[in-house]
Amino acid sequence: MEGSIEPQEFKVLRKAGTERAGTGEYNDTKTEGVYECRACGHELFRSDQKFDSHCGWPSFFAPLAEDNVQYIKDRSFGIVRTEVRCANCGSHMGHVFDGEGYDTPTDLRYCINSVSMKLRPAE
């Protein structure tokens, strides 16, 4: 990671924590561009894959490319979920959920912590 790491970034990226719902800087962002891993700069999602899920975190219906993310079975909290990590550095991004009925091309919701990403605006 470039420079010093903030405590919230460490909690989420390295300890698989979650930022509080509705508090992330990219939750309501409509800026066009590419969302990169905050830790290593690996490209993860495009703004045209982002949608309003009203869940409190930025939501995407697909990653920029399947091999840009890594999927890990997460059995924390007594349930089984699918964790999403950066395929380049292994940083925790959030989770992916399916079958929730969103009107998207994939019926998937990549629920991603803002603090895990940085947005590189389109030029």
Burial state string for 15-45 with b = 16 or more CB within 10 A and e = fewer than 16 = ebebbeeeebebbebeeebbbbbbbeebbbb
CA nearest to 53, candidates 77, 86, 24: 24
89 annotated active-site: no
Q: What angle do CA 61, 66, 70 make, to 5 degrees?
A: 100
Q: Which stretches of the chain are DSSP H helices?
A: 7-13
Sign of the CA dihedral running 94, 118, 25, 15: positive
- Considering 37, 40, 89, 111, which one is annotated as catalytic? 111
Active site residues: 111
